[in-house]
């Protein structure tokens, strides 16, 4: 009964079941009951549609990626980029003396150092503190942990909200106020 499929992992994409009568230039009318449409929604935002939610951190991620100005939505919500976003925010906070009073952890400045999996790990404080120390050789105090956790939560929630907005748009498109969405990927 699924009408929509979504993958939220390293990358992201969605497809939906469209009424065949709504597909222009459809040659084979025997599929009038339904056509699966691949949205390639990772590319959403390439024409500025996400500018109200796009930060200077997103711009850094985009400009340093292998495909600048492409796949903006994916860079804002998928697993490949969320850890990088958290890292950039933490480094800027540290440069403004808002965190890491004992000095910026050297390992945090390394490429790919803050894995996206650490975002979900931050919801289990004690385990996260151990993991952070093992990864960065830095003991977070309670105030620093709260700062890191709030950044992780903000990035996680923004990703979830943007993904949900995309899914709601697809539900409206297929005029299905209630429906099954098949979901897969490491972000779930």
pLDDT in tens, 35-44: 899 999 999 9
**CATH number of domain containing 175:** 3.40.367.20
pLDDT at 20: 77
At 47-77, the pLDDT tens digits run 999 999 999 999 999 999 999 999 999 999 9
> Tokens 């850890």 sit at which residue?
83
Beta strand pairing call for 2-8 and 180-184: parallel
Taking the C-alpha atoms of residue 96 and residue 90, their distance in angstroms, rounded to an integer, is 10
Q: 18: closest CA among 32, 28, 6, 8?
A: 32
Helix and strand totals (H; E) in the chain: 6, 4
CB atoms within 10 A of CB 184: 11
Tokens, residue 52: 């109200």
Task: Tell me if 57 sits within 8 A of 89, measured CB to CB.
Answer: yes
Q: How many domains does the chain have?
A: 1
Range of the domain at 57: 4-184
Q: Global pTM?
A: 0.92
């Amino acid at each position: 009964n699924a009408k929509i499929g979504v993958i939220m992992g390293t990358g992201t994409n969605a497809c939906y079941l469209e009424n065949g009568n709504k597909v222009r230039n459809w040659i084979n009318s025997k599929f009038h009951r339904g056509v699966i449409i691949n949205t390639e929604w990772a590319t959403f935002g390439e024409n500025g549609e996400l500018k109200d939610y796009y930060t200077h951190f997103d711009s850094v991620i985009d400009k340093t990626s292998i495909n600048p100005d492409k796949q903006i939505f994916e860079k804002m919500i998928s697993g490949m980029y969320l850890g990088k976003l958290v890292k950039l925010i933490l480094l800027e906070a540290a440069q403004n003396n808002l965190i890491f009073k004992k000095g910026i952890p050297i390992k945090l400045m390394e490429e790919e150092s803050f894995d996206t999996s650490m975002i979900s790990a931050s919801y289990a404080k004690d385990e996260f503190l151990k993991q952070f120390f093992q990864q960065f050789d830095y003991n977070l105090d309670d105030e620093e942990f709260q700062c890191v956790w709030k950044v992780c939560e903000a990035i996680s929630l923004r990703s979830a909200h943007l993904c949900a907005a995309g899914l709601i748009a697809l539900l409206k498109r297929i005029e299905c106020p209630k429906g099954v969405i098949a979901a897969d990927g490491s972000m779930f």
